[in-house]
A and B are shown apart, each in its own frame.
Chain A
Amino acid sequence: MSTIFGIPPQALFGQLLLGLINGSFYALLSLGLAVIFGMLNVINFAHGALYMLGAFVAWLLLTTAGIGYWWALLLAPLVVGAFGVVLEKTLLSRLYKLDHLYGLLLTFGLALIVEGAFRHFYGVSGQPYPIPDLLRGGQNLGFMFLPNYRGWVVVASLVVCLATWYAIERTKLGAYLRAATENPVLVQAFGINVPLMITATYGFGVALAGVAGVLAAPIYQVSPLMGSNLIIVVFAVVVIGGMGSILGAVLTGYGLGLLEGLTKVFYPEASNIVVFVIMAVVLLIKPAGLFGRER
């Protein structure tokens, strides 16, 4: 049997696929963070908790109401987004005039509350969520076996990321959004409802985390802790990509996922820290991040 760099191709491609799937989640989450940061100047520490909430809503819909995956894929992000709108209206909006650090601290507190509550009611052990019937089984690609659901996750996240990028960079609404990021007062003077736009942006950003949660539910176990460690890797992704750019968040997300997968093949002990090592190197060379602008 042939090998690539002394590694059987199945193992190599298997890990690369895993890396690509992790990368899909990094990209979706860092994209949401970038969208929110652009408009609100808040680092949403609750992002991991809201991702977990998305997965849990899907699970609850299934176990309590018998509502399946496809409806959950629509409903869970709506629920998470609506929750986000409430958070923004009642809590976050009080802090915009203050130092940005208070936004970070507030969302940190919110993350503790949401995660703590779910942990209290559902414990730390994960709940299984079945793969939808349509996506069971897999394809034999000759060099590796690709489970259908995993392929779907990669495609779905790519579509969502590209659509978001297009909406922000190429449409009129996106132009308003970018303009309001630069100068909210001026944009408001043109008769555009900036506070509404801020609320909607936060809702949309956390809805992206909700989408990621539903996509993740059949792959990982649905557990209260699923977001808390992921969020820190995503923060590192954000630092590496640079906050200025939507594209940077997406590309860095996928790239680092793949790199993590590769590390798992060649030097498994380092796979947990490779992202942080890369962050350190990037900071040394380009403190603004790979795609970021110096401000």
Chain B
Amino acid sequence: MATEIHAVRRETAAPATGRPAMPGLLALAVLLLVLIAAPYVLYPVFVMKVLCFALFACAFNLLIGFAGLLSFGHAAFFGGAAYITAHTVKVWGLPPELGILLGTAFAATLGLAFGALAIRRQGIYFAMITLALSQMVFFMALQLKFTGGEDGIQAVPRGHLFGVIDLSQSMAMYYTVLAVFLFGFAVIWRTVHSPFGQVLKAIRENEPRAISLGYRTDHYKLMAFVLSATLAGLAGGTKAIVFQLATLTDVQWQMSGAVVLMTLLGGIGTLFGPVVGAALVVTLENYLAASNLPVPVVIGVIFVACVLLFRRGIVGEIAARFGGKRP
């Protein structure tokens, strides 16, 4: 039954040793240089969008790629945090860092509640449950007073970071977002290369065996879920500050689908895949928006092609072709 997805992952996942491998560190250095230089070459708001979605996709990938749990409801954490951040900053007048923190905390709490329910079932049930629960958040965003219904929360002030740095300046905002992204990425990197991450991989490969080894797998899965939800919330809250906006698009189930696509396209279970996938999808949407082509159709075709033809994703394919041998 569930054989190939594991076989594929085993080849592409980061090496199972505690220490990150050389190619990984090299890729990280390149990524860092590209990101520091990017706003001088590209439109900063565009790169910030990529970074927010990259963090979102990395958070999602932590769950599917390393714990083997496909959540189809991550928009709830991303969008939920965006609403909380937007509201606390705009209406309560909190500074941006506190707003993002509250949004992230909200996502963590929501993740704990949803995760506790969802991990009671596995596989496709897990996906359907997370999807249904996130739809509940969507309807609340539609109906509750503070979310502004169809309009969302607009004109959120960016404010001053720590009361000092003026975020209305796009370079200041950019490097703040970059710092947030790098923090999130570091957390994921550390998690994946920790004993905790090893247990997650063991659960992904063979849960009954992990149970028989004495691990309380439900606890590990729930922790992974909460961590993933929290980081997705961090991405959503940051996004609300960057775009000064939180809308229904952020909590819609199509958003949950988009993050699945980003991860799948870049490479499930690879550290850099989601970043590449997010950059590609955001770029594609930007270009298609100006063209006459129907965006969902193109996205759908890519989705189908990924599932049928290259399930490893771009980074996964590269890793498998060049030196992807397991140690």
A98 and B264 CA atoms in complex are apart in Å by: 15
Does A113 contact B264, Cβ atoms closer than 8 Å?
A: no
Does A117 contact B121, Cβ atoms closer than 8 Å?
A: no
A153 and B140 CA atoms in complex are apart in Å by: 31
Does B304 contact A279, Cβ atoms closer than 8 Å?
A: no
Does B304 contact A116, Cβ atoms closer than 8 Å?
A: no
Residues facing A in B118-143 (CB within 8 A) are 120-121, 123-125, 127-129, 131-133, 135-136, 139-140, 142-143
Does B4 contact A97, Cβ atoms closer than 8 Å?
A: yes
A276 and B137 CA atoms in complex are apart in Å by: 10
Does A111 contact B128, Cβ atoms closer than 8 Å?
A: no
Residues of chain B within 8 A of A91, CB atoms compared: 304, 308
A276 and B264 CA atoms in complex are apart in Å by: 28
Residues of chain B within 8 A of A232, CB atoms compared: 131-132, 135, 253
Residue of A98, A115, A236 near B132 (CB, 8 A) is A236
A105 and B306 CA atoms in complex are apart in Å by: 9
Residues of chain A within 8 A of B297, CB atoms compared: 112-113, 116-117, 120
- Residue of A whose beta carbon sits closest to that of B73: A232
Task: Output the least CB separation between B208 and chain A (Å).
Answer: 13
Does A276 contact B5, Cβ atoms closer than 8 Å?
A: no
Does B143 contact A269, Cβ atoms closer than 8 Å?
A: yes
Residues facing A in B73-130 (CB within 8 A) are 117, 120-121, 123-125, 127-129
Does A109 contact B300, Cβ atoms closer than 8 Å?
A: yes
Does A235 contact B307, Cβ atoms closer than 8 Å?
A: no
Query: How many interface residues does chain A have, given as a range?
Result: 35 or more
Does A117 contact B294, Cβ atoms closer than 8 Å?
A: yes
Residues of chain A within 8 A of B301, CB atoms compared: 109, 113
Report B286-327 CB contacts with A as 1/0, cut-off 8 Å: 000000001111011111101110010000000000000000
Is B257 interfacial (CB 8 A cutoff)?
yes
Is B54 interfacial (CB 8 A cutoff)?
no
Count residues of chain B with CB under 8 A from any CB of chain A: 44
Residue of B125, B132, B295 near A116 (CB, 8 A) is B295
Residues of chain A within 8 A of B153, CB atoms compared: none
Does B132 contact A99, Cβ atoms closer than 8 Å?
A: no
Does A106 contact B308, Cβ atoms closer than 8 Å?
A: yes
Residues of chain B within 8 A of A95, CB atoms compared: 307-308
Residues of chain A within 8 A of B129, CB atoms compared: 239, 279, 283
Is B224 interfacial (CB 8 A cutoff)?
no
Name the residue in B136, B306, B307 with the highest tally of chain A Cβ atoms < 10 Å from its Cβ.
B307
Does A43 contact B300, Cβ atoms closer than 8 Å?
A: no
A119 and B120 CA atoms in complex are apart in Å by: 37
Does B294 contact A119, Cβ atoms closer than 8 Å?
A: yes
| Given known contacts A43-B127, A283-B129, A116 and B253 CB-to-CB distance under 8 angstroms | no
Does B304 contact A109, Cβ atoms closer than 8 Å?
A: yes
Is B2 interfacial (CB 8 A cutoff)?
yes
| Given known contacts A232-B135, A232-B253, A283-B129, A110 and B304 CB-to-CB distance under 8 angstroms | yes
Does A106 contact B307, Cβ atoms closer than 8 Å?
A: yes
Residue of B3, B125, B296 near A115 (CB, 8 A) is B296
Residue of B120, B136, B296, B304 near A283 (CB, 8 A) is B120
A243 and B296 CA atoms in complex are apart in Å by: 30
Residues of chain B within 8 A of A276, CB atoms compared: 132-133, 135-136
Does B2 contact A100, Cβ atoms closer than 8 Å?
A: yes
A144 and B2 CA atoms in complex are apart in Å by: 53
Is A9 interfacial (CB 8 A cutoff)?
no
Does B300 contact A111, Cβ atoms closer than 8 Å?
A: yes
A238 and B306 CA atoms in complex are apart in Å by: 27
Is A151 interfacial (CB 8 A cutoff)?
no
Does B139 contact A273, Cβ atoms closer than 8 Å?
A: yes
Residues of chain A within 8 A of B132, CB atoms compared: 232-233, 235-236, 239, 275-276, 279
A-B contact pairs, 19 of them (CB 8 A): A43-B127, A94-B308, A95-B308, A98-B311, A101-B127, A105-B306, A106-B308, A108-B260, A232-B253, A238-B128, A239-B128, A272-B142, A272-B143, A273-B136, A273-B139, A277-B136, A279-B133, A280-B117, A283-B129
Q: Report the 8 A-B pairs with minimum CB-CB distance, sorted nearest first.
A: A116-B296, A109-B303, A112-B300, A113-B300, A120-B294, A99-B5, A116-B297, A109-B304
Known: A94-B308, A272-B139, A276-B133. 20 other contacts (CB 8 A): A43-B124, A95-B308, A97-B4, A99-B4, A99-B6, A100-B2, A101-B70, A103-B124, A104-B127, A105-B260, A106-B303, A108-B260, A108-B303, A112-B300, A113-B300, A116-B297, A119-B294, A239-B129, A277-B136, A287-B121
